[in-house]
Amino acid sequence: MTDSDDGVYAISVAASMVSMEIQNLRVYERRGLLTPDRTAGGTRLYSNDDVVRLERIRDLLADGLNLVGIARVLELEAEVDELRARLGEGDGASA
């Protein structure tokens, strides 16, 4: 069984899964919105986590955000997730 962050999908498959064009996925990578795994030969491999992130990017684009705005939203969401994880860890320690 693979972890959700292990790259398993070729770029064409990942693009099809999220109804995007392949070149868009390349742009998102260049802009730092996601970082797919690479084979030794340089082929991109997208994980289940990458596909979820691409779906989020697609939804934010549909909401009218540009790529700079999407990058900021993704950063803030990651910070919120990290803070929630810290708070969750602290709950058991204070009892």
The CATH number of whichever domain residue 43 belongs to comes to 1.10.1660.10
Q: Is residue 85 part of a domain?
A: yes
Confidence at residue 89, expressed as pLDDT on a 0 to 100 scale: 73
C-alpha torsion angle, residues 48, 57, 28, 20 (rounded to 10): 80
Q: Let me know if residue 5 belongs to a domain.
A: no
Beta bridge partners of 46: 9
Looking at residue 3, its pLDDT comes to 77
4 inside domain: no
Residues 28-66: tens digit of each pLDDT = 999 999 999 999 999 999 999 999 999 999 999 999 999
Query: Comparing C-alpha atoms, which of 84, 85, 17 is closest to residue 57?
Result: 17
DSSP E strands in the chain: the ranges are: 37-38, 44-45
Domain count, the chain: 1
Q: Are 49 and 7 in contact (CB under 8 A)?
A: no
